[in-house]
Amino acid sequence: MTAGMASPPPEDAGVEAFFHRRGWRIFDFQRQSWNAYLAGDSGLIHAPTGTGKSLAAWLGPLQEWLNSGETGAVGCRVLWITPLRALATDLVEKLREPVDILDLPWQVEKRTGDTPASQRARQRRRLPAALVTTPESLALMLSYAEGARPFSGLRCIVVDEWHELLGSKRGVQLELCLAHLRARLPRLRVWGLSATLGNLDQALKALLGMRGKGLVIDGTLPKRNRIEALIPATLNRFPWSGHLGTRLLPEVIAAVERHDSTLLFTNTRSQAERWYQALLDSRPDWAGTVALHHGSLDRTLRDGAEALLRAGRLRCVVATSSLDLGVDFSPVQQVIQVGSPKGVARLLQRAGRSGHQPGAESRVLCVPSNAFELIEVAAARRAAADNRLEARPPLRSCLDVLVQHLVTLASGPGFRAGELRAEVRSTHAFATLGESEWRWALDFVCNGGSALGNYEQYRRVVREAGRYRVAEARLARQHRMSIGTITDDPMIQVRWLRGGSLGSVEESFIARLRPGGRFRFAGRLLELVRVRDLTAYVRGATSGTNAVPRWMGGRMPLSTELADNVLELLARADEGKFEEPEMAATRDILRLQARWSALPGPTRLVVEQNRSREGTHLFLYPFAGRLVHEGLAALLAYRLSRLQPCTFNLSVNDYGLELLSRNFPDIGADHLKELLSDTNLAEDILACLNAAEMAKRQFRDIARIAGLVFHGYPGRGKSARQLQASSSLIWEVLQDYDGGNRLLEQARREVLESQLEFSRLATCLKRLAAMEIRYTEAGQLTPLAFPLWAARIQTQVSSESWQARVERMAARLEQAAEAAC
Amino acid sequence: MLSIRWHGETLRMHWERGLYWPAMTTLFIADCHFGKAAAFQRQGIPIPEGSNRRDLGRLDTLIEAWRPERLVVLGDFFHAPPSPDESLFRDFRRWREAHSCLDITLLEGNHDRRLSTLAATLSLRWETGPLPLPPFSCRHEPSDSSPVPTLCGHLHPVLRLRTGRERLRVPIFWFGNRQAVLPAFGSFTGGMPVRLRGGDRAFAVGDSAVVPVRA
């Protein structure tokens, strides 16, 4: 840690006076940031939320204006980009504070999708000195006739929460827009604000472009992080997912009671719904002081919870990653994480949401839902201490975003191909863009695609006097409706029968319900009345089942950094060292695992085989995260079935995988190495997973971003219906009549990279090749095998009989364990 | 070729999504949506054309299989009015000349209103209301109040099938008590999942077969 010492108050006027008047101390990193800005530098400031990053970036431009001696109205000098439009209002207030105190003639305004049309029109004529906006709104502004001209006086762009955009297509879109402005304003400085990541240099490169240079400034205060675990009095030797979580409810309630205000994070929205309900069921007297916050709830419900939290009127908010971002919630004294932390950086970011009082420490209390998650907590603490954080790799070569950008710019003053190509290639995202890809993208927006004869009615972008522009104003208007890259699964709005929205759930969940069916959502028990036009009308219910919607995409894999630390801790346990309290608590379980089989480690792959009435089970524990294990399980099954025809049942979790078959081929440790080789990996993976089907699903987002799916104008549902086609239908048509369309290829690549984590899988296989394989014929399910077995059974039977069966098996194994001890 | 007895008549189903009534040597198809991709293209959405020619070829297959005297299209033959410079127009004219003896009746659908003049230039009969072909009535949109057994389209019915881990959406011929709904003929058409009622019979359309399915 480099920064953080308080400086003696200098007698300087200028922006530092703001700190003196507020009685705040200035941190070295803040002064370092604005000095670098004044010297003409760009940069990236990283620190957890609530350490004063925003001021570090904001005061430089203000000081620069003071130094210039200018007076009078200030033109648009600063663009402030935030990933969430919901944060824009808070940001404007925050930025206005020093402006007001220093009495500067600076206008600070926001412009997002929520901004009224009258204000947007006024802003089109004249922008404020500082404009807070989102990546999508920036792209939208560039699509108007005046293009980048309103920004000609711009000095600085600040990208807030850059870590959140990095690694997403929104980040790629922003990279393109930044490059466009940079090409017109050579002296423009760009500053990013980010949580601490494992790849800060790369994050800086993505922000500044390939030719940009800048500083990485560490704003981590010497505030202490405390990562602790709620250790239950007794631990089951045979843990299964979801079991322990609610058992620890009394302890969690006690922890909530000890503080005025707690943020309780869960990993999924369904878990958040369940915990909210469990808290209120145990403490009905807390009604009104406990709130629920997740991404599928209606905006007004979320806003309400945030306002109450900020006002210090809530005892506890149960939240998902929807509260990872945002301005300070200063009253929060404690953060609780339920379930696996999944990643170190994320846990630290969450911990940073508490302890904003001077001298306080960031404290996160982890509530494991099984014994191995307890080890993850110790692993997270180690990784945090060593500063081994996850990287968030920026995306590259997203042609869908590129074609959208081409149409965006063509909707405005238009572009020249050569100039724009240079601009696009200056970004990190498209630095390796080949000539043929560039030509294809340009062709795509002009002619539709390479299969020319099949696009005879198509006209979108045309070349006139060397400039590419949209063919008709109508097409530009239509494009503006669909600017943006955030895409959602088809969602069903949930509304009260009498009016008022509660939020949205996935279509597939509602499709399983019939009118009269009950479910829990937004913290309430609801009864479905009818579904019409993508809206589910509900009324309150007083009793019924506990069905909670499950949202897709909530299953983030365990990070490599965390998994590696878990393996190291297991290796130490193998040597008899149980230093951390979490390790001491799991000692019995780990010893049993070692006795019945072996403990995995950084250089040891544990493989267990056993037989049951169901057939032969093979368990492997590579600790590479569930996505990699999914790929690995499918790969093994595929390669085994080539030795001898057989069918497998597969089960995976973050630690390992299970293969079950009635006629399992005979394989030993040596043969297993061959089966795990990385030769022909890509071909085998594509052959064994239903990659074609997955690519078709992945294409849904791509089609929307590239403008192949048009959602129509608001309020003109009927006329847009003529232009509706599902993305899977478009996928098939493209495959049949324009197979060379590169968006198809992109979908296949994205499936490999993001859905299957192909590179992580390849790395994992390389590592496994060098490992010692400890092969055991285990007599029964080991503590590591049990949760895999339980998860597989869950997919086969109803939930009641599942619970009973898993409890029976756990009891039987407990007996065996007692006998063994 | 799979046959069904429905209201005393024999009807045959083809995997190219045509229904044949041998007693009247009449072929039925529904919801071709010719020119759909071009309609997208005119709105600046680059969907490739190409399915038109394939679909005309599929129509040839049906005609060769049964040699009907009459073709009845149960609505939405065109997706949107084609522009005269479209190759679809030329392709279709050529196709019509090759089948000049075939009597073709188009029922007006919700997509191809205002096309009566176009139909005339291609020597197609144009019907705006239900077409009675006793004992049946033919129409585009299903109607619960129809007093006679009805052949119709419009819904693009598909059935969601689940077998173990696999999920499948298949277009179906859907025979209810008084109403028979044809699958959409056009290749570039989506489908609407339907729920079968007791007594309904459904036939899934595969690549080279039609098979009866249960809900």
Each residue's pLDDT tens digit, A507-550: 667 766 778 888 888 888 888 888 776 788 999 887 766 667 76
Number of H helices, E strands in chain A: 33, 25
Angstrom distance (rounded) from CA A634 to CA A637: 5
Task: Return residues 477-506 of A near B (CB < 8 Å).
Answer: 478-479
Residues 6+ apart with CB under 8 A from A126: none
pLDDT, average across residues A255-267: 91
Task: Provide the angle, in degrees to the nearest 10, between the axes of the packed helices A88-101 and A53-68.
Answer: 40
* A457:B83 CB<8 A: yes
The predicted pLDDT at position A62 comes to 95
Structure tokens at A735: 């495959």
Which of the pair, A655 or A49, is modelled with greater confidence? A655
Question: Exposed, middle or buried: residue A124 (CB in 10 Å: 0-12, 13-18, 19+)?
Answer: middle
Residue B84 C-alpha, separation from nearest chain A C-alpha, in angstroms: 11
Are A562 and A570 in contact by the 8 Å Cβ rule? The answer is: no
Per residue in A555-597, pLDDT (tens digit) is 678 999 999 999 999 999 999 999 999 999 999 999 999 999 9
Beta strands in A433-588 (DSSP E): 461-464, 467-470, 491-496, 501-506, 518-521, 524-532, 535-540
CA distances, B71 to each of A145, A475, B67, B121, B122 (Å): 52, 39, 10, 17, 14
A723 neighbourhood in chain B, CB within 8 Å: 39-40, 43, 45
**What's the pLDDT band for A256 if we cut at 50, 70, 90?**
very high
Interface membership of B86 toward A (CB under 8 Å): yes
Residues 6+ apart with CB under 8 A from A60: A33, A34, A35, A36, A37, A38, A156, A191
Phi, psi of A741 (to 5 degrees): -60, 120
Give the pairing of strands B70-73 and B103-107.
parallel
Angstrom distance (rounded) from CA A162 to CA A207: 8
If you average pLDDT over every residue of chain A, what do you get? 86
Structure tokens at A754: 């993001």
In chain A, what percentage of residues exceed pLDDT 70? 89
* A478:B43 CB<8 A: yes
Phi, psi of A795 (to 5 degrees): -75, -10
Interface membership of A454 toward B (CB under 8 Å): yes
Residue A460 C-alpha, separation from nearest chain B C-alpha, in angstroms: 5
* B41:A459 CB<8 A: yes
Angstrom distance (rounded) from CA B124 to CA B138: 17
The predicted pLDDT at position A800 comes to 61
Comparing A4-8, A230-234, A274-278, B136-140, the range with the smallest average pLDDT is A4-8
**What's the pLDDT band for A48 if we cut at 50, 70, 90?**
confident
* B46:A459 CB<8 A: no
pLDDT, average across residues A618-640: 92
User: Mean pLDDT highest for which of A589-598, A698-707, B121-130?
Assistant: A589-598
**What's the pLDDT band for A360 if we cut at 50, 70, 90?**
low
Residue A447 C-alpha, separation from nearest chain B C-alpha, in angstroms: 8
Structure tokens at A702: 């791509």
* B46:A730 CB<8 A: no
* A448:B41 CB<8 A: yes
Q: Which residues are paired to A480 by β-bridges?
A: none
Sole residue written with tokens 């063919």? A471
Structure tokens at A167: 């690694």
| B68-78 as b/e: b if 16+ CB within 10 A | bebbbbbbbbb
The reply to whether omega before B82 is within 30° of 0 (cis) is no
Give the pairing of strands A214-218 and A467-470.
unpaired
Which of the pair, A718 or A697, is modelled with greater confidence? A697
Interface membership of B49 toward A (CB under 8 Å): yes
Are A45 and A53 in contact by the 8 Å Cβ rule? The answer is: yes
Angstrom distance (rounded) from CA A633 to CA A402: 35
Comparing A239-253, A432-446, B179-193, the range with the smallest average pLDDT is A239-253
Note every long-range contact of A544-549, with CB atoms under 8 Å and residues 24 or more positions apart, other chains counting. A544/A518, A545/A518, A545/A519, A546/A520, A547/A513, A547/A517, A547/A518, A547/A519, A547/A520, A548/A270, A548/A273, A548/A274, A548/A519, A548/A520, A548/A521, A549/A269, A549/A270, A549/A273, A549/A296, A549/A505, A549/A506, A549/A509, A549/A519, A549/A521
Per residue in A147-202, pLDDT (tens digit) is 999 999 999 999 999 998 998 899 999 999 999 999 999 999 999 999 888 999 99
Are A746 and A398 in contact by the 8 Å Cβ rule? The answer is: yes
pLDDT surpasses 50 at A245: yes
Residue A457 C-alpha, separation from nearest chain B C-alpha, in angstroms: 5
Angstrom distance (rounded) from CA B12 to CA B177: 18
Angstrom distance (rounded) from CA A371 to CA A582: 9
Phi, psi of A265 (to 5 degrees): -95, 135
**DSSP assignment string, A49-82:** TTSSHHHHHHHHHHHHHHHHT--S-----EEEE-
The predicted pLDDT at position A105 comes to 93
Structure tokens at B194: 């339907």
User: Mean pLDDT highest for which of A172-181, A773-782, B100-109?
Assistant: A172-181
Phi, psi of A734 (to 5 degrees): -65, -40
Angstrom distance (rounded) from CA A747 to CA A753: 10
Interface membership of B33 toward A (CB under 8 Å): no
Interface membership of B83 toward A (CB under 8 Å): yes
Task: Return residues 95-134 of B near A (CB < 8 Å).
Answer: 111
The predicted pLDDT at position A268 comes to 83
Three-state SS sequence of A210-268: CCCCEEEEECCCCCCEEEEECCCCCCCCCCCCCHHHHHCHHHHHHHHHCCCCEEEECCC
Angstrom distance (rounded) from CA A146 to CA A134: 19
Which of the pair, A42 or A807, is modelled with greater confidence? A42
In chain A, what percentage of residues exceed pLDDT 90? 45
* B44:A459 CB<8 A: yes
**What's the pLDDT band for A717 if we cut at 50, 70, 90?**
very low
CA distances, A472 to each of A329, A622, A729, A804 (Å): 48, 56, 27, 65
Sole residue written with tokens 């390992």? A656
CA distances, B35 to each of A474, B30, B40, B156, B182 (Å): 21, 15, 9, 17, 20
Q: What angle do CA A182, A187, A193 make, to 5 degrees?
A: 70
Please count the other Cβ atoms lying within 10 Å of the Cβ belonging to residue B208.
Answer: 7
Sole residue written with tokens 């040891």? A604
Structure tokens at B112: 């191809």
Element (H, E) at A570: helix A560-574
* B41:A723 CB<8 A: no
**What's the pLDDT band for A551 if we cut at 50, 70, 90?**
low
Which candidate in A454, A455, A510, A688 is best for mutational testing of the B interface (most B CBs within 10 A)?
A454
Phi, psi of A623 (to 5 degrees): 55, 55
pTM: 0.85
pLDDT, average across residues B95-102: 92
If you average pLDDT over every residue of chain B, what do you get? 89
Q: From its phi and psi, is residue A268 left (phi > 0), alpha (psi between -120 and 50) or beta?
A: beta
Give the pairing of strands B26-29 and A362-367.
unpaired
pLDDT surpasses 90 at A619: yes
Phi, psi of B50 (to 5 degrees): 145, -30
Comparing A75-79, A358-362, A392-396, A415-419, the range with the smallest average pLDDT is A358-362
Which of the pair, A360 or A645, is modelled with greater confidence? A645
Quick check: helix, strand or coil at residue B73? strand
The predicted pLDDT at position A816 comes to 83
Task: Provide the angle, in degrees to the nearest 10, between the axes of the packed helices A681-688 and A691-705.
Answer: 90
Q: What angle do CA A414, A416, A419 make, to 5 degrees?
A: 125
Which of the pair, A337 or A791, is modelled with greater confidence? A337
Looking at the predicted complex, does its ipTM rise above 0.90?
A: no
Per residue in A100-136, pLDDT (tens digit) is 999 999 999 999 877 888 888 888 888 999 999 999 9
Angstrom distance (rounded) from CA A250 to CA A253: 5
Angstrom distance (rounded) from CA A655 to CA A785: 10
Give the pairing of strands B166-175 and B201-205.
antiparallel
**What's the pLDDT band for A357 if we cut at 50, 70, 90?**
low
